[in-house]
Amino acid sequence: MTGCGLARAAAGLVAGLLLFAGTAVADIKVGVIYDLTGAFAAGGSKAAAIGNRIAVDMINEKGGVEGHKIIAIEADAQSKTDVAINEAERLLNDAKVDLLMGVFSSAQCVPMAARVDAAKKFMWANVCVASAVFKDKNLQYVFRPQVHSDQFGEVSCSFIAENAEAKLKKDVKAVKVAIIHEDGPYGVGVAMGNELKCKELGMQIALKEGYAATSPDLSALVTKLRRAQPDVILHTGYNPDITLFLRQAKEAGLKWSALIGHGAGYGQIDKLIETFKDDADYIYNVDPVAAQLLDPKTLAAGLGEITAEMVKRYKAETNAREVPTHVSMGFNQAWILFTDVLPRAIKTYGGFDPEALRKAALETDIPDGGTIQGYGVKFNPPGHPMAGQNARSSPVVMQFIKGQTKVVWPVTIRTADPVLPLPAGHAYAR
Amino acid sequence: MDCQLDMFFLEAILNGVLLAGLLALLALGLNLVFGVIDVVWICYAELVMVGMYGINSAYKGGLPFPLAALIGIALVAIAGALLHLLVIRPVLDTRPINQLLVTGGVLFFLQAAATMAFGIDFRNLGIRLGSISLFDMNFALARIITFLVALAAMLALWLFLTRTYLGTAIRAIAQDRQIMPLMGVDSRRLYLVTSAIGGGLAGLAAALMVLQYDIYPQIGLQFGPLVFMICVLGGLGNIIGGFIAAFIISQFIAVGSSCFHTEWGYAVAFLFFMLAIFIRPQGLFGGK
């Protein structure tokens, strides 16, 4: 073989090795857990799962993360905590996923996060909101860009306090509030936030009660509310309890000035309108904002287009008229991981093992306006009482006005003036 | 404890009575089947769910509600008969645990089948019957109708079992499953008729529940445990016992929820149940 031939052979070998190395780029296996069946599925979990899936598709269409394709292995938690935990174990130990993400129910999130962290695996919580997931747990490998339940509780009380005199024509200290909630970690967490903040603001707590989300009858609770006569009802529930409450409240003649829900079933405006028609008008919902409601000009460049694409794909898949906020939650948190944390883990820390992901997550520093839901991302560091929770997340108050979702708080981003109290003639108006 | 003996307390108690009507109706069919065939239909509440979907489909398909309700009742009556023919009969002479397990299997099958057929969305007929007011108390008309229908169903079943030849035969086979076939009674036919009636009662409950509740594949879980507790408390298989137990349990729920936190209502009811069964394992009203 001539020198020239040897050089050609060597070049070919190198090229071949490079080609082999190129095709051998490892996929990133992501275990995605949502409730695709069971009561939580229609309460927003399925919508979040679709949002999550759209994010994966869009990333893969752009070539993946640093050349690594995202392989999402979906699991159905069936709205059962034990199934969720078993699926998490299966995904981590049998399917050997690199990380877990998703999870709708706080009842699933609390034990799952503790287990995953103890096993030193990486978990990215997209939807569940209970503060109890992180509070005083000092989790090292679990992160949540999503808002937490204490914030939910605080926001609704702040909204009422700011509007008490102008809208309710009452001093804030004269406002009577009732707090009702499902008795899982999600409902208890939000209700605790409600109670602390409303008391701090000087409001009267006329009633605070929990109930089982699967209760076949809430008439006793409705009767108690009739006796307490609150101006505002703060409600945290899933489905079917929300629809059962609204139905029995109407039949019993319960009236209020404002009903403020906190996510889950209250985020499903299409379903509420389908069931209650005009009676669903003017209900409030505290949640992270549905991305399509924000003015793209207030966000970082390019995020408006990403939101538009998400909305387009969701509507194409579901034929939905309104895009629930859970879609944004599922999409946004996944997008943050894929476009910010994962690239840093690969480039700076050499891969996507739990340690690399943890270090990369702790360095996340997205300013407000840097995600499609408006809030920034900066995780509380280890040692913090809420270590792993996004310190920059924030929910908003939305109101269903004439069948459309409007942002009514905070004032800086609101798209409508809140209708408060309920207008005369409304089924629940005093 | 915060029992305020006012009009609202009375409203809670009367609402408890109305809830008892629905629970008693649900317990009626289950007790009939157990009393006669000696098999517990774990999937009973899921048959109700099937009826609710059937009524919803018929109503949304353009039929008036009464006709849709009749179709739903017939559908679940047929489902009850098929359940006996295809699932119960093959294991009727085996150990009771086998019968329990196969109906448990049917429960999961029906839930999964409903999820695949109808999806995860909550559905409802959109029918609102309103409510009536009495001394500043309000009661849903749908619940009042349910209560009255439950009473009527109880009476009709009693008349059927005591005044008709077929009913008498059913009672006879319930008393002695070994001897009656030797006297020429066709037990297979009687079991089939009983299963159809049990299913029909589940269909009747479905027709009333669609006026009060959303329809979704897991709705059985909302009622199933409570109805089984009522049946056991009244004495499994004892139709009158189950009827009375429904009123006892619903009052524990109503008064417990009024005097304590709402979630305590169910805790108090279950505590009473445990104590009652501890003292009388055969149920408050004994066997059949």
Q: Measured between CB atoms, does A317 come within 8 Å of chain B?
A: no
Query: Residue B261 has what pLDDT?
Result: 83
What is the C-alpha separation between A111 and A92, in angstroms, rounded?
15
pLDDT of residue B288: 46
Q: Which residues of A touch B131 (CB under 8 A)?
A: 251-253
Pairing of strands B131-134, B137-140: antiparallel
| Interchain proximity B263–A212, CB inside 8 Å | yes
Q: Domain locations in chain B?
A: 27-222
Stretch B172-201: mean pLDDT, rounded? Answer: 86
Say if the Cβ atoms of A217 and B216 lie within 8 Å.
no
Residue A255: its chain B contacts at CB < 8 A? none
- Residue of chain B nearest A273, judged by CA positions: B126
From A220, which residue of chain B is nearest by alpha-carbon distance?
B12
Residue B93 — pLDDT band, cuts 50, 70, 90? confident
> Among A54, A55, A106, which Cα is nearest to A338's?
A55
Is residue A299 within 8 Å of residue A368, measured between CB atoms? no
- What pLDDT does residue B3 have? 75
Q: Do A221 and B19 touch (CB under 8 A)?
A: no
- Work out the pLDDT band at B177, boundaries 50, 70, 90: confident
Q: CB of A287 within 8 A of CB of A262?
A: yes
Short-list A250, A137, A232, A157, CA closest to A199:
A157
The verdict on pTM exceeding 0.80 is yes
How far apart (Å, rounded) are the C-alpha atoms in residues A348 and A22? 20
Q: How far apart are CA B218 and CA B46, in angstroms?
A: 8
Query: Averaged over B220-239, what is the pLDDT?
Result: 91
What average pLDDT does range B36-51 have in this prediction? 93
CA-based nearest distance A48→chain B, Å: 14
In whole angstroms, what is the distance from residue B284 CA to residue B281 CA?
8
Instruction: Kindly report the nearest CA distance between residue B12 and chain A, in angstroms.
Output: 5
CB pairs under 8 A between A and B: 110
Mean of the pLDDT values across residues B99-118? Answer: 92
Taking CB atoms and an 8 Å limit, are B140 and A275 in contact across chains?
no
- A79 close contact with B: CB closer than 8 A: yes
Q: Enumerate chain B positions whose Cβ falls within 8 A of a Cβ in A.
A: 4, 6, 8, 11-12, 15-16, 19, 112, 115, 120-122, 124, 126, 128, 130-131, 133, 138-140, 142-143, 212-214, 216-219, 221-223, 226, 253-254, 257-258, 261-263, 265-266
Parts of chain A with a pLDDT under 70? 1-24
pLDDT computed for residue B32 by the predictor: 92
Cα–Cα nearest to A91, from A42, A21, A31:
A31
Shortest CA distance from A184: residue in chain B: B263
User: Nearest C-alpha of chain B: how many angstroms from A244?
Assistant: 7
Domains of chain A (ranges; CATH) run 28-147+298-362 (3.40.50.2300), 150-287+396-413 (3.40.50.2300)
Predicted local distance difference test score (pLDDT) of residue B1 = 60
Residue A188 to residues A152, A184, A208, A393, B89: CA-CA distances in angstroms? 12, 6, 10, 20, 47
Query: Residues 41-70, chain A: which have Cβ within 8 Å of B?
Result: 41-42, 46
Of A46, A226, A247, the CB nearest to B8: A226
Residues of chain A with C-beta less than 8 angstroms from the C-beta of B265: 220
Whether residue A333 contacts residue A145, with contact meaning beta carbons closer than 8 Å, is answered with: yes
What is the least distance, in Å, from the CA of A239 to any CA of chain B? 8
How far apart CA B56 and CA B207 sit, in angstroms, is 9
Query: Given this model, what pLDDT does residue A11 score?
Result: 54
CB < 8 Å to A217, chain B: 15, 19, 253
**pLDDT tier, B162 (very low <50, low <70, confident <90, very high otherwise):** very high
Of B140, B226, B266, the CB nearest to A251: B140
A216 with B222: Cβ contact below 8 A: yes
A128/B contact by beta carbon, under 8 A: no
What integer pLDDT is reported at residue B87 of this predicted model? 93
Q: Is the peptide bond before A410 cis (omega within 30 degrees of 0)?
A: yes
Q: Which of residues 211-250 of A touch B (CB under 8 A)?
A: 211-212, 214-221, 223-224, 226-227, 239-240, 243-244, 247-248, 250
With beta carbons less than 8 A apart as the criterion, state whether A309 and A378 touch.
Answer: no
Judged by CB atoms closer than 8 Å, whether chains meet at B120 and A244 is answered as: no
Q: Which residue of B has its CA nearest to A227?
A: B8
Closest approach of A324 to chain B, Cα-based (Å): 14
Mean pLDDT of B162-182: 85
Contact call for residues B50 and B80 (beta carbons, < 8 A): no
Range name among A426-430, B113-117, B186-190 with the lowest pLDDT average: B186-190
